[in-house]
Amino acid sequence: MEGVQMHLISKEMLEKMPSMEKLRMILDNVKEGKIVVLETGLTPEEEAKLIEMTMLEIDHENFIGIEVESYPVKERSVFSKLFGKPKGRLTVIGPANRLKTLEKQADVIKALVQV
């Protein structure tokens, strides 16, 4: 059966992984053409680091970058700003030549995956 492989990573597994290990795992899978779904997503700092790492690995032939689908982070209270960690929401990451955003709203994301 032909298709696109998807990796669905649980919140528990993501919480155990250090940031760099998480980002490396995402990028390695995406470069192999897989779609990665993260139950809790990435922090804003991790998202920025992922973009930075992606730029370093674009080779202009086989890998042209990533497509990331995630919702905006909800507004945080003063208490959580001081003592909490910003938490990402469900995030889908795939190779830019396979995953395309169709429509994005505050709580709904529609995307197209090319086989």
Partner 1 sequence: MGLMLAIRKRFGFILKLFFKKDKMRIGIYGPPNAGKTTLANRILRDWTGDVIGSPSDVPHETRRAKLREGVKIEVDGKSLTIDIVDTPGLATKIDFHEFLKYGMDEEEAKRRAKEATEGVIEAIKWLDDLDGVLLVMDATEDPFTQVNVTIVGNMEARNLPLLIVANKIDLPNASPARIKSAFPQHPVVPISALKGINIDSLYKAMAERFG
Residues forming the site for partner 1 (CB under 8 A): 43-45, 47-48, 51-52, 54-56, 58, 60, 64-73, 75-76, 81-82, 86, 96-97, 101, 103-106
CB of 12 to partner 1, least distance (A): 23
Q: CA-CA distances (angstroms) from residue 72 to 17, 68, 76, 83, 105?
A: 22, 12, 12, 20, 9
Which residue bears the tokens 């992922």? 50
Considering beta carbons, is residue 2 or 75 the nearer one to partner 1? 75
What residues contact residue 30 under an 8 Å CB cut-off, 6+ apart?
36, 66, 93, 94, 95
Checking DSSP bridges between strand 99-104 and strand 91-95, what pairing results, if any? unpaired
CB of 10 to partner 1, least distance (A): 22
CB of 1 to partner 1, least distance (A): 28
Considering beta carbons, is residue 2 or 59 the nearer one to partner 1? 59
